[in-house]
């Protein structure tokens, strides 16, 4: 089978091939936020296409759904509708389709260069959950802070461990993040101190977004979980390790995480990822029946993290893959709702740090520099144990298979220094 191509130019290594068609929210100088689809280096304006009748025959219920500042209302239309929209766009953009291709006025108004638009938060996140689903990451953390011989807690292989995080502070790629301040208990100190976090870290994660409600008291199964998953983004779960260490007992991370998380702007649908399914790691011991699943539920998505110092070159510090996750998204969602917890459109569920089996594939500076004992040499001569002010952290991800490439673009975040505060010295 030969692959279809688009009349829109798609560079060979573009994340946004005709087989991707991720949804996002963009704005231009002249017009406010609206729904777009990425193709090559361009953005297709769905609100314009809708107005010009290109979606005739698809029941959108709400004509203004492409003019909103978030994807939530669009996602809430349901998979039968959102998939038809995506299929229609695929048809419209195919090389042989002349409808839009040969309509000079419509084409020129429907397409924008990605370099000339501003990408916004794609969804209004109602509830945000962070899982802890990489065995390698949990093992590394347990080895460093507890016992190398019993690195995993007893519950870890039975439960997709997760916790609730802060929805309000999730920001989109391009937004800078300020180094947080907080309480820390330095090694050997007898009283805590207050000041800027000294051990600022990233966590390489991916997140999925739900598009279909589950009422309170109801549950999703591993079999129907995918009906609820609209798509995925890259997720940088910023972490203040020193604040975390002092605060997290016994109720979990709080201020160490809720100052910011950063996501990529394009939501890659689960439909676009079908070609990249693979088996996950073997689960031993056997999971409880509500966590059993059939089929390939992991995805082969190459991930990488780069750090670009304020005055330096970008440098890759991690190459990992989404396929390493021990717990898959079906299990995560089934577990999350097995107690009757309700699910809403626009909720976000991050994976936890995606570390692979080798040091090159560890997904956080904590692990890469192994608690500061193995600093990373940067091309400008400096060293990194954790993230410095002025550093830009860039995460990228893409899947590739039989010449088909489906990628996520990037989540790129510059770290600004902590602000002055009247109690700074305390």
Mention every residue, 6+ apart, whose C-beta is less than 8 A from residue 78.
211, 212
Q: Where does residue 217 fall: left (phi above 0), alpha (psi -120 to 50 degrees), or beta otherwise?
A: left
Work out which of 27, 31, 52, 158 binds a copy of itself, going by CB under 8 A.
158
Work out which of 2, 108, 155, 187 binds a copy of itself, going by CB under 8 A.
155
Does residue 363 belong to the site contacting a copy of itself (CB under 8 A)?
no
Work out which of 53, 148, 188, 289 binds a copy of itself, going by CB under 8 A.
289
At which residue do the structure tokens 């039975």 appear?
158
Give me the residues paired with residue 414 across strands.
392
Work out which of 53, 148, 285, 381 binds a copy of itself, going by CB under 8 A.
285
CB 333 within 8 A of CB 229: yes
Catalytic residue among 137, 228, 336, 398: 137
Mention every residue, 6+ apart, whose C-beta is less than 8 A from residue 262.
170, 171, 172, 173, 175, 177, 235, 236, 238, 411, 413
Strands (E), 99-211: 111-113, 118-119, 128-131, 162-165, 170-172, 177-178, 181-184, 193-196, 200-201, 204-210
Between 216 and 316, name the residue whose CB sits nearer to a copy of itself.
216
Between 159 and 278, name the residue whose CB sits nearer to a copy of itself.
159
Question: Quick count: other Cβ atoms within 10 Å of Cβ 6?
Answer: 21
Does residue 132 belong to the site contacting a copy of itself (CB under 8 A)?
yes
C-alpha span between 332 and 326 (Å, rounded): 11
Does residue 174 belong to the site contacting a copy of itself (CB under 8 A)?
no
Among the listed residues 42, 172, 46, the one whose alpha carbon sits nearest the alpha carbon of residue 114: 42
Q: How many residues bind a copy of itself (CB under 8 A)?
A: 66
C-alpha span between 144 and 356 (Å, rounded): 16
Work out which of 240, 263, 348, 394 binds a copy of itself, going by CB under 8 A.
240
C-alpha span between 6 and 295 (Å, rounded): 32
CB 308 within 8 A of CB 88: no
Give the tokens for residue 233: 């983004």
CA 108 from chain center: how many Å?
31
Between 90 and 248, name the residue whose CB sits nearer to a copy of itself.
248
CA angle 356, 333, 275 (to 5 degrees): 60
Does residue 137 belong to the site contacting a copy of itself (CB under 8 A)?
no
Nearest distance in Å: CB 344, a copy of itself = 5
Does residue 187 belong to the site contacting a copy of itself (CB under 8 A)?
no
C-alpha span between 24 and 360 (Å, rounded): 31
Nearest distance in Å: CB 182, a copy of itself = 5
Does residue 1 belong to the site contacting a copy of itself (CB under 8 A)?
no
Does residue 347 belong to the site contacting a copy of itself (CB under 8 A)?
yes
Considering only the stretches 20-28, 41-49, 90-98, 253-261, report the one whose residues sit in contact with a copy of itself under the rule CB under 8 A.
Answer: 253-261
Does residue 151 belong to the site contacting a copy of itself (CB under 8 A)?
no
CA angle 308, 314, 316 (to 5 degrees): 105
For residue 336, indicate whether it is catalytic: no
Does residue 216 belong to the site contacting a copy of itself (CB under 8 A)?
yes
Nearest distance in Å: CB 291, a copy of itself = 9
Binding mask 78-117 for a copy of itself (x = CB under 8 A): ----------------------------------------
Does residue 426 belong to the site contacting a copy of itself (CB under 8 A)?
yes
Does residue 288 belong to the site contacting a copy of itself (CB under 8 A)?
yes
Between 161 and 325, name the residue whose CB sits nearer to a copy of itself.
161
Nearest distance in Å: CB 347, a copy of itself = 7
Q: Where do contacts with a copy of itself occur on this chain (CB under 8 A)?
A: 126-127, 130, 132, 153-155, 158-159, 161-169, 171, 178, 180-183, 185, 191-194, 197, 216-217, 219, 240, 243, 246-255, 258-260, 285, 288-290, 335-336, 338-344, 347, 419, 421, 423, 426
Active site residues: 137
């Amino acid at each position: 089978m030969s692959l279809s191509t688009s009349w829109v130019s798609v560079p060979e290594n573009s994340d946004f091939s005709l087989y991707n068609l991720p949804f996002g929210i963009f704005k231009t100088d002249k017009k406010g936020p609206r729904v777009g689809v990425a193709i090559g280096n361009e953005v297709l304006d769905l609100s314009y296409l809708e107005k010009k009748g290109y979606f005739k025959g698809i029941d959108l219920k709400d004509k203004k759904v492409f003019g909103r500042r978030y994807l939530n209302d669009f996602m809430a239309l349901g998979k039968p509708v959102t998939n038809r929209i995506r299929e229609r766009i695929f048809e419209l953009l195919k090389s042989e389709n002349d409808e839009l291709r040969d309509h000079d006025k419509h084409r020129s108004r429907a397409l924008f260069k990605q370099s000339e638009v501003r990408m916004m938060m794609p969804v209004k996140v109602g509830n945000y959950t962070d899982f802890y689903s990489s065995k390698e990451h949990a093992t590394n953390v347990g080895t460093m802070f507890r016992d190398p011989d019993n690195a995993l807690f007893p519950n870890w292989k039975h439960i997709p461990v997760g916790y609730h995080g802060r929805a309000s502070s999730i920001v989109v790629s391009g937004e800078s993040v300020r180094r947080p301040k907080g309480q820390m208990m330095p090694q050997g100190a007898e009283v805590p101190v207050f000041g800027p976090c000294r051990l600022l870290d990233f966590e390489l994660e991916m997140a999925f977004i739900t598009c279909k409600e589950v009422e309170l008291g109801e549950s999703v199964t591993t079999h129907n979980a995918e009906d609820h998953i609209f798509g995925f983004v890259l997720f940088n779960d910023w972490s203040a390790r020193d604040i975390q260490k002092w605060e997290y007992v016994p109720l979990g991370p709080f201020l160490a995480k809720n100052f910011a998380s950063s996501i990529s702007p394009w939501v890659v649908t689960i439909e676009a990822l079908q070609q990249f399914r693979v088996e996950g790691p073997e689960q031993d011991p056997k999971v409880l029946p509500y966590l059993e699943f059939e089929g390939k539920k992991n995805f082969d998505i190459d991930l990488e993290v780069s750090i670009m110092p304020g005055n330096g070159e970008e440098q890759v510090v991690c190459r990992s893959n989404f396929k390493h996750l021990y717990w898959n998204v079906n299990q995560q969602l089934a577990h999350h709702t097995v107690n009757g917890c309700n699910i809403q459109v626009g909720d976000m569920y991050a994976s936890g740090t995606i570390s692979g089996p080798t040091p090159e594939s560890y997904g956080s500076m904590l692990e890469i520099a192994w608690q500061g004992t193995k600093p990373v040499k940067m091309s400008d001569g400096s060293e990194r144990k954790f993230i410095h002010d002025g550093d830009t952290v860039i995460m990228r991800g893409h899947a590739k298979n039989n010449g088909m490439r489906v990628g996520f673009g990037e989540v790129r975040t510059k770290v600004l220094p902590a602000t002055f505060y009247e109690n700074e010295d305390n």
